[in-house]
Amino acid sequence: MKSLRPYLTWFAVAVLLTLGAIFGMQWVRTHPEHLPGARFELAHPQGWATHRKLVALASDDSACFAAFDRAGAGYLRRPAIGTGACRASQRMILTGNRFAPTMRPAGAAPGCAVTAALILWDRDVVQPLARKYFGQKIVEIENLGAYNCRKIAGQQGQSEHSTANAIDISAFVLADGTRITLVNDWTPGDRRSEFLHAVRDETCGLFSTVLSPDHNDAHANHFHFDMAARTAGWTVCR
């Protein structure tokens, strides 16, 4: 009589694989932040697919603004401006500070996808690091603008600023009024510098491009963040 052992072994393997697939599918369903096909939600934690979803939102106005509507995030949508390579159709300004600190100047109006990334950035990077280094929250974030129809400095390629798909961040203001600036506080030596370097390091991978004063002199006074679409989804962090 032929032994049943090989059949029982294969049956056990099949059962284990089936159970693994079932539990895997359940896990993905309860962690949509890791699933590229799942709808982006502002309330979701960051996951493997978050960056890919944000990049997709940069070219899908309806889907991006719908995410803000579902979250109940107040915003003012600004009129589309520019033409061709300099057309910006997603410009928006958050109203209130429920989802992010006050932005100064308030009229920067970055694109919807960049604004969504800024909300996650503030929630997951800026505020936790502010509590770690200073024991208080950031109440204002200063910027140098979002929309600017121009080429990348020293290159022929069009800047992501040309479609408001970027923003330059220059300073942070703590609840006690302390102002932390990249131009004055980047050089290592104290908690302010440690905070700024930690912000840069922990932002890598959320935006498509993260440039700091370590990149070149043109960025000596600001972080540059953008949501550029690149082949295979690779990101830059310097």
Q: pTM score, two decimals?
A: 0.89
The long-range contacts involving 82-89, CB below 8 angstroms and separated by at least 24 positions, are 82/147, 82/149, 82/162, 82/163, 85/149, 85/158, 85/162, 85/163, 86/149, 86/158, 86/162, 86/163, 87/163, 88/147, 88/162, 88/163, 88/164, 88/165, 89/61, 89/163
For residue 155, the model assigns a pLDDT of 82
For residue 153, the model assigns a pLDDT of 80
Spatial distance between the Cα atoms of 7 and 28, rounded to a whole number of angstroms: 31
Each residue's pLDDT tens digit, 82-138: 999 999 999 999 998 899 999 999 999 999 999 999 999 999 999 999 999 999 999
Each residue's pLDDT tens digit, 126-147: 999 999 999 999 999 999 999 9
- Determine the distance from the C-alpha atom of residue 186 to the mean position of all C-alpha atoms in its chain, rounded to a whole number: 21
- Which residues of the chain fall below pLDDT 70? 1-30
For residue 156, the model assigns a pLDDT of 82
